[in-house]
Structure 1
Amino acid sequence: MSANDTFDDPRVTAHRDGDDLLSAGLGLRGLAGASTRFAQPGSPTPAELRRRAIQSSWKGVADLGPRGGFGSLYGSVPNVPGREFTTFANLPGARASHRVLVQVPDDFDRKKRCLVVTASSGSRGIYGAIALAGGWGLPRGCAVAYTDKGGGAGYFDPSDDTGVQLDGTRARAGSAPLEFEPKGLAPDAGIAVKHAHSGDNPEADWGRHVLQAARFGLGVLDRAFPEEAPFTAQNTTIIATGLSNGGGAVLRAAGDDKEGILAAVVALEPNIHIRGSRSFYDYATEAALLLPAALSARQFDDVPFARVGAASPPAWVLRGAALRAHGRLSAVMPGAQADEALDRLRAGGWQDDVLATAASSTSLDLWRAVAVAYASAYLKRDAAHMPGGFCYRLHHAAGMAGPIDAIVRAAWWADGSGVPPGTGISLDGGTDLSLDPTLPGVLTLHDLQTGHGAEADQLRAAVKTTAAELPREGLPILIVHGAQDGLIPAAFSSQPYVRWLRDAGLRPVFWKVPYAQHFDAFLAFTDFGDRHVPLLPYGYAALDRAWATVAEGRALPEDAAVRDARPRGAGPLTARALALPQN
């Protein structure tokens, strides 16, 4: 480990006899089923919380439905007994820790030493990448090191002064080390979330989080197999992989890896940007502002989830009128306002097939929710001083405090996405009493990207610290991205990154997958699944190719547009529809 690494003493647990590493004993059917239950809902055990966290992480990333092909066309969930080592890790200069966890299977391949290191997608908790990194690595005898990269659902509630311990249970501040323990919050400040409120801008350190998790993984292997220590980057193959924000994190690690500890990097739908390209906050706040107004355009008439939950009169028409009233659109009639909003999105680089899947994020209010958390992180605000007057509030059942609140809190660590709203937590503020009540907050968030003043300057400066650095020459890098990704469009992320690497003389492999979008989990819904293919099987295939390159000396594959991939249609997914790249 590096002399600068700081780790608390790890918690070590064994997982055998019906409680394994990959599915906590649930198997594929159990992972796909209803959420596991707690014997005592207000005080779940660490084992119950772990099982539910693993299940929710699988279901949040993979399509485990009967028509999705998991377990038959790709992937599997075998029983993988072993041990887990978890602790809170600290980067030099950081105020808050990131949680790290290493899974060591009993059948760890000691002849072909392999460590997969990964970072959670989105702002998910520590198991957030298990469907990718664990699903590929554990059945092959690899150990897997995870980091939450400064996110996670270790929410702190100042109303009762509780946060999350290392084992996932809640405890009062001062009684035990907590995953996140902000200081000085008033009881009514609102729920504090590590990604948004740590004061660290964790995104700036995503790459360092991944590399520190890799070093922790090597140290854990020393401890797990002392007779075969030391485990080093010279005698252990370290492959970094992740998807979405986790994909961006492993690419950032590639640029930060001055010691050369990574053997290969495989990134799926990565949230990555380079200097001069559009950042996620830039295009997310643009989508939050303009997409609701564009949704009344005819091209969205047959798009799944494009207009879910709209009020009467239609909310998308109201957004167009409100933007005109604020001087953000010039057209007078609703149809012309929709066309104007759509034209502005296209001018910004949005493509029509990408906008079709971006519409679902608009209907789910995802753009606004994510932008709130990012803005708070960039401006280093605490829970009581989020920009735009936003706050996260405990949402009491039946509108009043009661015993149910303790039950809801107890499940946050297992169920939370790391970015509220969610069960028991509402996103408040940033609204007015107009017919388009969320617009004031959206305008504030958008103007922090495009406007003037100290706060806007601070936010843009913070975003600049998240730009990628060039990886070392010769490092195998494989990037897999859905052509119809509407949350992190390839045109704003993977494609400029790949061009940048190639302009520098590097040779990344880029697979662009037709009909693939961002959320494989959405494919369980018929309207979505009929039109798209999952991205996860292409990630597994890319990991296979990366392993063949670094462990067997085979040449890297060529770029692939996967031209024969096609939507599954009304029936189950088929191998022909996937058309996975061949060796």
Structure 2
Amino acid sequence: MLSACASHGTRKESAMREVDDSQVRVTEHRSHDDLLSAGLGLAGLAGLPTAFIDPLQPTAEELRRRAIQTSWKGIADLGPLGGYGSVYGGVPDVPGREYQAFARIPGARSPHRVLLQLPDNFDRHKRCLVVTASSGSRGIYGAIALAGAWGLPHGCAVAYTDKGTGAGYFDYADDSGVALDGRRAKRGEAELEFQPPPAARTAGIAIKHVHSGDNPEGDWGRHVIQAAQFGLAMLDRAFPAEAPFTPQNTKIIATGISNGGGAVLQAAGLDQEHFFAGVVALEPNVHVQDRGRALYDYATEAAIWLPCALSAEDFAAVPLARGPRGVTLPAWPIRCASLRAQGKLGGNTVMAQAEQARQYLRARGWTDEAMQTAASTTAFDLWRVIAAGYASAYLRRGATDMPCGFHYAAIGAGGLPGVADPVARASWWADGAGIPPGNGIGLFGGVSVSADPTLIGSECLRALWTGDGHEAQALHASVAATAAKLPRSDLPLWVLHGASDGLLPTAFTSEPYVAWLRDEGRRPIYWKVPHAQHFDAFLALPGFGEQHVPLLPYGYAALDRLWAHLYEGAAWPDDLPTPAARPRGNGALTRSTLGLP
């Protein structure tokens, strides 16, 4: 029943009108446990991680509260200078109900989560359903700081999908995964968010996005449409006297950020019959066939070349590009030496080699601005982490046969693979970002015994893109399946992206997508926001936030404009000038800094 909705996006009555109660978990959230912040409010969301009475057996309510807090802190800048709640945004108390279930895309091996948040103040006269997909590889609450924070105060119901990602990690050591309520359960005890094929207890940790065997990214658009259909069905259940809720009588607004932004653009390309009333995508990981560059392409390139390039003199003042007292991070000159030994660089000094690496990346489409903010991704070794996980997803590999010798395991004594700490394992669903390392789980393998140990794995991952063997061909086919299709001509569509995004550079993602739409006669609004980068949450880091502005307030502004168009009769603009944002500087964020009208 839950999968049936995916292929009926435009039916005149909502899908899934009858759903077995055993398939849907319905919970009430009132009296210090609301929908938007689980009762924490802004101060609580920004504070220390919420505590569990019994860390070995946290309750479903405790896990939900911490999952919401983790998702907020992973997306929004809640720091004292960031302006959240005063300059833009807010965290009002929003009582209501949640409807959550496991669903499947037809043909998929593994289920995924769908969730509807239905506020008590749902406006039945302005029927509104916001649908979203998690950012990054996060779990079901991974877009709450965007879709929930905007939609719930507007009286909209908000439907979420984890789009086949999330922290439903499976631990082979005790054969346990995550049940619908977020608590750990062993294979056979309950339906699990992710249950991979059996393997030895030493097989490590299996990750849903990476090891499901489904290439979920190729179906992200279908996930979004399915979540919207689930939302309509739950509205039918909540208000049977007013059913059916359909796309014809309920305006469906799709919005997402990062991977979630790419997911709603994929969904827009599947909507040819007025399912969506409008789409707002922030910093989307969007791929257009034969235009721009796919994430796997430039991530594997960055993993090899950026450590050296960021040693260049031009990046000496970039936060996270240098260690204490401006000293280059030790591993980065070593990478320059490795590339020189391979004959890919010349020069007898690190500065000369780094400048050559920088020029190489510039010729490949990287801007200095993107490289500057990519210093954070590079310092945290995220390029290699992203590439290892995505390679396994694209090649549909399991936990025991990941490409290039990589695998995930609990971090034991001395940083070696070991057994998970039971306390950490109990909170994985609430604390995990979707793809480790983190929360006591490490990425192992793909290294050599050398001065530059991670290079061999990064080169192996790169060869899966540049090579022509059967594995490279299979990977390219999976990436091709993620390409966005053309949205309908009359769909209000707004794309926003930070000009300083170093993780999903605009030159590889939003710009080719918007150019393609315009070439095909579409009229998207596009804001390339000056001084905005990919991670609003990083703006609380000393020396980083002073140089940037958050992207979330521009997303809220775009959604406000869409609301005015849909419900107040305002004309949809053909285009709008991009706000003249300025760096935040040493002080607190101000409205004038954002440059919003």
Q: TM-score, normalised by structure 1?
A: 0.97
SS in 1 for 2:171: coil
2:265 is equivalent to residue 251 of structure 1: yes
- Show the 5 A alignment for 1:73-222: 73-222=87-236
8 A Cα contact 1:545 1:557, kept in partner = no
- Deviations 1:367-403 (CA, angstroms, capped at 9, x unpaired): 1111111000001110011111001011136769999
The CA distance in 2 between the partners of 1:534 and 1:272, in whole Å, is: 20
Q: Structure 1: which amino acid aligns with 2:542? A: T
Give unpaired runs (5+ residues) of structure 2: 7-15
Aligned amino acid, residue 518 of structure 1:
H
Distance, in Å, in 2 between the alignment partners of 1:311 and 1:181 is 46
Q: Deviations over 1:72-109 (max 9, x none)?
A: 11111010000000001111111111110000001100
Contact 1:511 1:559 in 2 (8 A): no
CA contact (8 A) 2:315 2:372 kept: yes
Give me the whole-angstrom Cα distance separating, in 2, the residues matched to 1:504 and 1:2. 33
Which residue of structure 2 lines up, in the alignment, with residue 301 of structure 1? Answer: 316
Deviation at 1:319, TM superposition (A): 0.2
Give distance in 2, aligned partners of 1:154 and 1:505. 42
- CA RMSD in angstroms, aligned pairs only: 1.8
Change (3 A) 1:291 1:446: same
CA distance, structure 2, for counterparts of residue 489 and residue 2 of structure 1: 35
Give, in whole Å, the separation in 1 of the partners of 2:417 and 2:210.
25
Give, in whole Å, the separation in 2 of the partners of 1:213 and 1:96: 16
Give secondary structure in 1 for the equivalent of 2:268: helix
Partner of 1:240: 254
Match of 1:518 among 529, 534, 539: 534
Report the number of matched residues. 581
Contact (CA 8 Å) 1:28, 1:77: kept in 2 or not? yes
After TM superposition, give the deviation of residue 554 of structure 1 in Å. Answer: 1.6
Q: 1:350 — aligned with what?
A: 366
* CA positional deviation for 1:314: 2.3
CA–CA separation in structure 2 for the residues paired with 1:19 and 1:4: 31
Measure, in 1, the Cα distance between the counterparts of 2:576 and 2:535. 21
Q: Give unpaired runs (5+ residues) of structure 1.
A: none
- Is 1:66 paired with 2:66? no
- Judged with a 3 Å threshold, the aligned counterparts in structure 2 of structure 1 residues 193 and 404 are, in CA distance, closer, same or farther, namely closer
- The correspondence for 2:48, drawn from 27, 34, 48, is 34
- Secondary structure in 2 aligned to 1:526? coil
Native 8 Å contact 2:420 2:440 kept in 1: no
Q: 1:48 to 1:303 in 2, by over 3 A?
A: same
Helix, strand or coil: the match of 2:185?
A: strand
Alpha-carbon contact 2:409-2:418 (below 8 Å) kept? no
What are the Cα deviations for residues 236-277 of structure 1, in whole angstroms up to 9, with x where unaligned? 010000000000000000001244311100000000010112
In structure 2, the residue matched to 1:414 is 430
Partner of 1:364: 380
Deviates more, 1:327-336 or 1:542-551: 327-336
Alignment of 1:504-583 (within 5 A): 504-557=520-573, 559-560=575-576, 562-580=578-596, 582=597
The 8 Å contact of residues 397 and 405 in structure 1, kept in 2 or not, is answered as: no
Q: Distance in 2 between matches of 1:367 and 1:191?
A: 20
Mark the CA change 1:404 to 1:573 in structure 2 (over 3 Å): closer, same or farther.
same
SS in 1 for 2:507: helix
1:401, 1:347 → 2: CA distance? 40
Tell me: CA distance 1:2–1:410, structure 2 relative to 1, closer, same or farther (3 Å): closer
C-alpha displacement of 1:549: 1.6
Deviation at 1:558, TM superposition (A): 5.0
Q: After the TM superposition, which residues 290-439 of structure 1 pair with which residues of structure 2 at under 5 Å, given as runs?
A: 290-308=305-323, 314-396=330-412, 405-439=421-455
| Equivalent residue number for residue 458 of structure 1 | 474
Q: Separation in 1 of the partners of 2:392 and 2:341?
A: 28
Amino acid at match of 1:89: A
> In the alignment, what sits opposite 1:285?
300
Matches of 1:176 and 1:258 in 2, distance apart? 39
Q: Partners of 1:326 and 1:140 in 2: how far apart?
A: 58
Change (3 A) 1:400 1:376: closer
- Secondary structure (helix, strand or coil) at the match of 1:126 reads coil
Q: Cα gap change, 1:557/1:313 in structure 2, threshold over 3 Å: closer, same or farther?
A: closer
Alpha carbons of 1:308 and 1:132: their partners in 2 closer, same or farther (altered >3 Å)? farther
Counterpart AA for 1:491: A
Contact 1:397 1:404 survives alignment (8 Å): no
| Counterpart for residue 500 of structure 1 | 516
User: For each residue in 1:482-511, what CA deviation from the matched residue of structure 2 results, as whole angstroms up to 9, or x when unmatched?
Assistant: 010000011111111001001110110101
Give the Å deviation of 1:563.
4.7
> Which letter does structure 2 place at the counterpart of 1:291?
L
